[in-house]
A and B are shown apart, each in its own frame.
Chain A
Amino acid sequence: MGAPDTAPAGAGGMSRRTALKLGMVGVLGAAVGAGSTAAFARMVRRPLPRYRFLSEPEASLLVDICEQIIPRDDVAGATDTGAIDFIDRQLGGPYRRHRQAYHSGLESFSRTCLQAHGGPFQGLPKDKKIEALRSIERGEAPAALWGEPSPKDFFNMVLAHTMQSFYGSPRHGGNRGYASYRMLGLNYPQVVGQNRYPKA
């Protein structure tokens, strides 16, 4: 896992917009009866990626970590509120300086779970997941598996970004449905004299 830092955010090295354009050409081409090669048809049918920056395996591991940081209870948690969308979106902008830290940190974290915690993170029971994360938080991990970032730095980065996602403004992709503001009993947006939520 771990797409190279330079990989464009799109299918098979194609940007999303190019893929859309080609898709349209493909449809038109078919309509006018122009022959399209099998390879071209496969490319057009390939689904658009869900994330701008993270690979699917990276995203599913990361969101599971985020969910331990802010778990669902009677109120939504990190998964439900779009933590992964928030982080992925910011990695294309203000978090761009953290891209490599996510790629290598997730890779190191994944290997650490295999080597020291008895299997892939997502397969662990909840208490083992928390135990694994606590040891990473304390910086306890096989040194050979970690370079930059260190286990502590990686944990602190994911912690901060998850909190930003859940407690920050919904305009950035997290805090879906104003979940944290509802939980805290904060009207948002705050309009003096008429505090209320838009329909979620």
Chain B
Amino acid sequence: MDPRHVNAVVVGAGAGGGVVAKELSEGGLSVVLLERGDWVSFETHGQDELINQRTTPLGNAYGPDDRSPRVVETSPGRWAVVMPNEGSYGNNAACVGSGTVSYGAMAWRYMEKDFRMRSTYGAPEGSTLEDWPISYADLEPFYEKAEWEIGVSGDMSGNPFSPPRRRPYPMPAFAYNREGLMLEAAARRLGLHPFPIPMLRNSVPRAGRNACVHNRYCCGFACPNNAKNGTQNTAVPRALATGNCELRTNSIASEIAVDERGRARGVRYFDGSDRAQYQSADLVVLSGGAIETARLLLNSKSRLFPNGAGNRYDWVGRNLQNHAYSGAFGLFDDETFDDVGPGATIAISDFNHGNSGIRGGAALCNEFIRPPYGFSGMRPPGAPRWGKEHKDFQRHNFKRSAIVEGPVQEIPVFDARVEVDPSVRDHWGIPVARLSGNRHPSDVETGRFIASKAELWLREAGAVRTWINLPGPEQRGGQHQAGTCRMGGDPKISVTDRNGRVHDIDNLYVADSSLHVTNGGFNPALTIMALGFWVGHSINEAWKGGKLG
């Protein structure tokens, strides 16, 4: 046996992979954690609005860079190569911690009905809407682990729609900023149920790290004082501290080796010097995100799986989802800006479910503080986009605005998908992902409904002018990408079983948002972490006597 053989290779050190690596190495398995990016820090780009993970005209602060293009369908049958800082790319950060370094850090549990969307609403024409094979109750203990081990500040006592929990949050909730206070009073007048957004940020010092200092900009940026909790400052260091886990950065996985008996043998990858490497292992876990995990499976062709590992029935890469973000802008006579960052403080969950004639819905939150360049593009329909009037608008309204919006839960569509491109390859010669397909028309109806509620809320809070924002028809994933390797009981219409184990390949697992059958009406990070604990736990349970049972 190869002396470098290990028990497990985990591909991707983000929300899912960082947690799985910790669980397995704490369970006593030897682990190699491959990460395509490197460690990153706040100091590299600071609070630069033109280079971060959210606004990217001059590049992605935390990767990937132009060595990793993708292909997107621009109109039926027409394709274009796009770079990682372009909107349609559907980017997730390439670094240790991935998106959890620079996310807005909202820490949502999905609701019970989010796991039973088909049972609740029925599958509309043109959709592949399905229930999850696990329930909220199954995942609840793992949500709790995520909240306590990664670190969440929150208080759900004001939210009557919150799913049941056994244990409170480990840290108190953050206070409302000025926008939050205005919106709280308005929500109560409307008979709604406002509550503070649960956040993966320290409201008090915890685990040897600082409390949040309310920086103006947070979403899209690393934290300057390490108060934002991601896997890079929690799960990954704990995995490394066991002595059982080796993290290899700048390592680009290209293929899972699958043998003649249909078992994964290891992972081929390129190291930081672009040299081809191979790591053999007893089991492999994929945590590259919904686009890269699907791409890696599709690029892993073998005799038993000529169309890619786990892709016997053409379900890998299907059902790509995101969130059909919808909401409203509001302008006020008085200043809403108090420079208490990051700005998103208040939410309502009144419209996630139970909306007449609507399938699902979304949580509504006030938006993070708008940076100046971003604000320059926020104008009511018909307002000048440039010139003296544009500048005056910017000057007058920059501190008198608010946005309320929500991650509208999408209805999955079979043809919204990730494939590998037949000709375009990345810097390492690996066929790139290509993205195509549209949202279900139902999403725009839901979006319109959610936007109308956002507008109503803003008006009640005193907005003198409002306008709405609706999603476009295209589905390209994005930072909330999900659904491409859905879990399920029937191998003909899913990719993994309920534990994230790929059908037909007993020692190959997925642990990231690819597993999501549906993507909730909430930001997905905490659910991805909870699934990391779920899959990690399941592997540890199956690991008996030095091998998978």
Q: Are A181 and B372 in contact (CB under 8 A)?
A: yes
A52 within 8 A of B: no
B214 within 8 A of A: yes
Q: Mark A134-157, 1 if CB is under 8 A from B, else 0.
A: 000100000000000000000000
Q: Are A192 and B215 in contact (CB under 8 A)?
A: yes
B377 within 8 A of A: yes
For window 35-93 of A, CB contacts with B under 8 Å fall at 68-71, 73, 75, 77, 90, 93
Across the two chains, which residue of chain A brings its CB closest to B385?
Answer: A159
Q: Are B398 and A163 in contact (CB under 8 A)?
A: no
* Chain B interface residue count, Cβ-Cβ cutoff 8 angstroms: 32
Q: Could you say which residues of chain A place their CB within 8 Å of the CB of B376?
A: 163, 167
Stretch at the interface among B46-54, B128-136, B183-191, B429-437: B46-54
Q: Are B48 and A169 in contact (CB under 8 A)?
A: yes
Q: Are A160 and B57 in contact (CB under 8 A)?
A: yes
Among B339, B386, B395, B398, the most chain A Cβ lie within 10 Å of the Cβ of: B386
Q: Are B372 and A192 in contact (CB under 8 A)?
A: no
A159-B386 contact, Cβ under 8 Å, with A168-B373, A181-B372: yes
A189 within 8 A of B: yes
Q: Could you say which residues of chain A place their CB within 8 Å of the CB of B387?
A: 68-69, 71, 130
Q: Could you say which residues of chain A place their CB within 8 Å of the CB of B198?
A: none
Q: Are A172 and B372 in contact (CB under 8 A)?
A: no
Q: CB within 8 A of A73: which of B217, B386, B391, B398? A: B391
Q: Could you say which residues of chain A place their CB within 8 Å of the CB of B214?
A: 192
Q: Mark B277-306, 1 if CB is under 8 A from A, else 0.
A: 000000000000000000000000000000
Q: Could you say which residues of chain B place their CB within 8 Å of the CB of A90?
A: 58
Q: Mark A161-190, 1 if CB is under 8 A from B, else 0.
A: 111100111011000000011011111011
A184-B50 contact, Cβ under 8 Å, with A167-B376, A190-B215, A192-B215: no
* Chain A interface residue count, Cβ-Cβ cutoff 8 angstroms: 35
B388 within 8 A of A: yes
CA distance A137 to B384 in the complex (A): 11
Q: CB within 8 A of A169: which of B49, B85, B390? A: B49
B537 within 8 A of A: no
Across the two chains, which residue of chain A brings its CB closest to B376?
Answer: A163
Shortest distance between the CB of A65 and any CB in chain B (Å): 10
A123 within 8 A of B: no
B394 within 8 A of A: yes
Q: Could you say which residues of chain A place their CB within 8 Å of the CB of B215?
A: 190, 192
Q: Are A168 and B49 in contact (CB under 8 A)?
A: yes
A4 within 8 A of B: no
Q: Are A189 and B46 in contact (CB under 8 A)?
A: yes
For window 80-127 of A, CB contacts with B under 8 Å fall at 90, 93-94, 97
Q: Are A184 and B399 in contact (CB under 8 A)?
A: yes
Q: Could you say which residues of chain B place their CB within 8 Å of the CB of A97?
A: 83
Q: Are A69 and B59 in contact (CB under 8 A)?
A: no
Q: Are B48 and A73 in contact (CB under 8 A)?
A: no
For window 215-254 of B, CB contacts with A under 8 Å fall at 215-217
Across the two chains, which residue of chain A brings its CB closest to B391?
Answer: A70
CA distance A161 to B59 in the complex (A): 14
CA distance A152 to B515 in the complex (A): 41
Q: Are A73 and B372 in contact (CB under 8 A)?
A: no
B213 within 8 A of A: yes
Q: Are A185 and B399 in contact (CB under 8 A)?
A: yes
Q: Could you say which residues of chain B place their CB within 8 Å of the CB of A70?
A: 386, 390-391
Q: Are B47 and A69 in contact (CB under 8 A)?
A: no
What are the 4 closest A-B residue pairs judged by CB atoms, nearest first?
A167-B372, A167-B373, A168-B50, A69-B386
Q: A133-B386, A168-B49 are in contact. List 4 more A-B contacts (CB 8 A).
A: A94-B57, A164-B57, A167-B371, A184-B399
User: A interface vs B, CB < 8 Å?
Assistant: 68-71, 73, 75, 77, 90, 93-94, 97, 130, 133, 137, 159-164, 167-169, 171-172, 180-181, 183-187, 189-190, 192
Query: Please, could you name 18 A-B residue pairs with CB atoms under 8 Å apart, sorted by A?
Result: A69-B390, A71-B388, A75-B395, A130-B387, A133-B386, A162-B386, A163-B376, A163-B377, A167-B373, A168-B50, A168-B372, A168-B373, A172-B50, A172-B58, A184-B394, A185-B399, A190-B47, A192-B215
